[in-house]
Amino acid sequence: MKGDKITFRAHAIQRMFERKVSEDDVCEVIKTGEVIEDYPDDTPYPSALMLGQRESRPIHVVVAYNESDDETIVITAYEPDTEQWDDEFKKRRKP
């Protein structure tokens, strides 16, 4: 994402704790990961799903970008489920 400022929503912090995803994990995904899905029509800000790796663990992070404040907002983070995602965790499996 674009902004240097990263803000964690309360929901994200709660889910990260439950899922054993650290703030460092999320920041690394934001810095080095790739956007695998874009949601340009999300409100109040456009958002995206990012994929990154921490050690050998894949992590998905949903972020929104507040352009007026140059801020990346972390919505949630999780380890993708192999039943819902392809082997590279980039594309959703068809139901």
Q: Which domains does the chain have, with CATH numbers?
A: 5-78 (3.30.2310)
User: In the prediction, which pLDDT does 4 show?
Assistant: 75
Q: What is the mean pLDDT of each run of 10 residues along the chain (95 residues)?
A: 82 96 96 96 96 94 94 97 95 89
Whole-model pTM: value is 0.92
User: In the prediction, which pLDDT does 94 show?
Assistant: 85
| Long-range contacts, 10-13 (Cβ 8 Å, 24+) | 11/75, 11/76, 12/74, 12/75, 12/76, 12/77
**Distance of alpha carbon 82 from the chain centroid:** 17
User: Residue 28: enclosing H or E segment and its boundaries?
Assistant: helix 23-32
CA atoms within 13 A on the CB side of 63: 31
Amino acid residing at 73? I
**Dihedral, 88, 9, 54, 21 alpha carbons, nearest 10:** -100
Is 24 strand, coil or helix?
helix
